[in-house]
Structures are given as structure tokens and as C-alpha cells.
Structure 1
Amino acid sequence: MEKNKRNRARNFTSDEIRALIRAVTKYSVILEDKTTDSNNWEKKNETWKQIANEFNATNSVFIRNEEVLRNKYDNLKKDLKKKVAYNKAQTFRSGGGASDYKTFNEDEKELLKIISLSINGLPTEPGSNESLVMLQKSYTTNEEERRVKKYEAEIQNLYQAAEQQKLEHLKRMEILEIEMQSKKRQLLLQYLTHYKNNC
């Protein structure tokens, strides 16, 4: 019994990869937006349809639909991130000195510009150890600032909660004072009424 085989699209040529990266670069702000609401997903889907139209209008090799182009783009990013992670590990292993780095072709360098934020912009090639130190310092500073702001916000929330409790306590005391004065007047009236009736 023969199994149904899934039709496999032809491999992308280097020209097609270059054309895809060019198209993606044009819409990178939308495609790399990390927002996960339905409006953003719909916008991304429409953008991929637009990319497919533009890609196929200039591509004479093979017609590619948006799903195929999207999968290819995701795979290119995965492969590139693996290479970046490898080079990053080599940087830490060698202390920034000479090591076994993987180089990037021009297409990968263009793709790096698009996804640099999602991979933290850490060094990808030899000679970038200085930028690594600067980025690490910047990251550490930002983390410290975030922690300080978070601490200050927590203190402010506690202060506001204490002030709120103080106000609520004062209001309760005022209400009790009013109730006590009212009770005193009622008791005084009852006493005077009783006194008059007995005189």
C-alpha cells in the first residue's frame, strides 16, 4: 500500500533567498513586532500576502505562496540564531580571544540587521568583544534601573496603601463620634422626659 507523500517545494536558490530578505526588510517593523493580539496577527498575515505578491512579481524561478515564504524566513532565522549562539559561546569560552568563529555571508548579515534586537545584539564575529562588554554593562545598568524603579514603585504603593488605611480609620472614627453624640442626645432627651413626667 503506497503512502501519500507530501509534495515538497523546490529548494530556494540564493537569488530567491536574497529577494526574500529584501522583501522582509521592507516590512520588518511589522513582522518582528512581538505584540500577540489578534489585530497584529491579522496585520502580519496581510503583510505576508503582500510579500508573496512582490516576491513572485520579480521571481521567475518558481511561484511561492506566503506560507512557504514565511516558513523559509523562520528557518533562516533559526539557522542564523544557532550560528550567533555558537559564536557567542566561543566568545565566552575564549575570553574574547581567537577562537573558532563561524562567518556570515552578505544575506545573513542583512538578516542580522532585522533580528538583532531579538538576539540581544550580542557579538557574532571576532573582534566584537569590546561591544560585548559595552552591551553587558548597558544591560546591567538597565537591569539595576529597572530594579530600583520597581522597588520605588513598591514603596510608593505601600505608602499609598498606608495613607488609604489612615483615611479610612479617620472616617470610621468620625462616624463613631457622630453616633456617640447622637446617643448622648437621645439619652439626655430620655432623661429630661422622664424627669418632667415624675415632677
Structure 2
Amino acid sequence: MCSNEKKVRAANFTAKEEAILTSLVKQYEHVLECKKTDAVTNQQKTEAWSNVAREFNVVNDSHRSEAVLKKKFENLKKRVKKKLSENKTYSMGTGGGPYKDTPLNDTEEGIKDILGPRAEGFQSQFDGDAIEIEIPETDDLQVSNEMIVEFANDHDYSSTVKPSATDDIENNGDKNWKKYTPNMLKRKKSAALCVNTTGKITFRNVL
């Protein structure tokens, strides 16, 4: 048989009621925020919410049921996560305009503490959100770019350059390059660029 009685909508939660609810949940967070779902844990959660509802109604003027308080706290957690997500998304944006930040009130800060890392998520170790490793600066390390060329004593080193090589290079500045083609790169190297070298050269960097 259907009842013709209309449900009366309860009054909205005030900021004071939200603060009281958050403080009570903080006392039982080790049970209420536990992720286990076995029979024993579920029974402990039910008893904890009963205690929260009883203590809440003792200090509050209007009566709130256990189901209403549980639903309200879930909505509060969603609201805090949404604010934190919007702040993080806006801070990583590339658009112009002033920085926009939605601050959290005292009650929302308390809910953020209850959520812990779940509020903003864990730091990624693989993408661009990872924390960069800072390399300490040292002033004691001195590096010299000096290069020492050593010639082996048991080898002969000789360099032969034609006397006219410098003159040929200087005269190339007046050469007409209008008829130049890429196929000319396959020609034999110019005599001015040929240097005959025999011996062993050792390069050693000095730090």
C-alpha cells in the first residue's frame, strides 16, 4: 500500500555542521577510510558510523541520520578532490591571464589530510611530472681544455706541402663558381689540399 505522505526535505548542512562531521570522521578515519571490504571490516565501519551519528546529534541542534551523514561526507570528499584537480589543471595550462587558485577552507583542509595522497594523486616516476634530480654544484673541480700532441719517437713524421698551395688557395677567391655542379665533388682532390703524413700522433687531454 502506497503512502501519500510527502518526504520533507532536510535543511542544508551549515559550515559548522560540516566542521563537526569532519572532526568526528577524523577520529575514526583508521576504520572508515580503510579499503578492506571483508565482513569484519564492514561491521567495524557500520559501528563507527553509528558512533559518528550519535556524537554528531549530541552537539548539533538538528537531527541527522547515519545515512545522511555518510552521504554528506562522500560529497565533501568529492568537492575537495574537484577543487584540487581544477587548481592542478589550471597551473599546468599554457593560456594567458592571471593565475587562478581556489583556496580550501579549514574544513576542506581537514578532509584533504584525511584523504592523504588520494587527494592529489601520487607522483609519477615515468612522465613529465616526475621530480627532477638536482646535481650539486662543485667549485673545486677545475677542467683545462688544453690539448697536448705527442709524437712517438720510433716513428718519423713528415709533412709535405707544395710551396704554391697558399697562393692557390688565395687565388681561388677570384674563381668563377657559376659553372659549378654537384658532380664536380667526385673529382680528384686538389693538390693544395693534399698533405703527406707519416707517423703516430697521440692526443691526450689534461684535466
Taking structure 2 as the reference length, what is the TM-score of the superposition? 0.54
In structure 2, what is the Cα distance between the partners aligned to 1:111 and 1:100? 22
Query: Which residue in the other structure is 2:115 paired with?
Result: 115
1:11-31 CA-partner distances (Å, limit 9, x unpaired): 111111111111011111111
Give the deviation of 1:4 after TM superposition.
5.8
| Structure with higher helix content | 1
5+ residue gaps, structure 1: 123-134, 142-199
Q: CA deviation at 1:100?
A: 1.5
1:55 matched to which residue of 2? 56
d(CA) in 1 for partners of 2:102 and 2:113?
17
Is the alpha carbon distance of 1:120 and 1:38 closer, same or farther for their aligned partners in structure 2, counting shifts above 3 Å?
farther
Structure 1 residue 63: Cα displacement: 1.1
Provide structure 2 residue ranges, at least 5 long, that are not aligned to the other structure: 132-207
SS in 2 for 1:93: coil
Q: Which is greater in Rg?
A: 2
Q: Number of aligned residue pairs: give it.
A: 126
Matching of residues 174-185 of structure 1 within 5 Å: none
How large is the Cα RMSD of the aligned pairs? Answer: 2.8
Alignment of 1:148-159 (within 5 A): none
Q: Percent of pairs identical after alignment? A: 34
Partner of 1:99: 99
Tell me which amino acid in the other structure corresponds to 1:85: S
In structure 1, what is the Cα distance between the partners aligned to 2:89 and 2:45?
33
Alignment of 1:29-178 (within 5 A): 29-59=30-60, 61-94=61-94, 99-121=99-121, 135-137=123-125
Distance in 2 (alpha carbons) for counterparts of 1:29 and 1:50:
14
Greater strand proportion: 2
In the alignment, which residue of structure 2 is the partner of 1:18? Answer: 19
Q: CA deviation at 1:50?
A: 0.4
Quote how far apart the aligned CAs of 1:54 are.
Answer: 0.9
* 3-state SS, counterpart of residue 44 of structure 1: helix
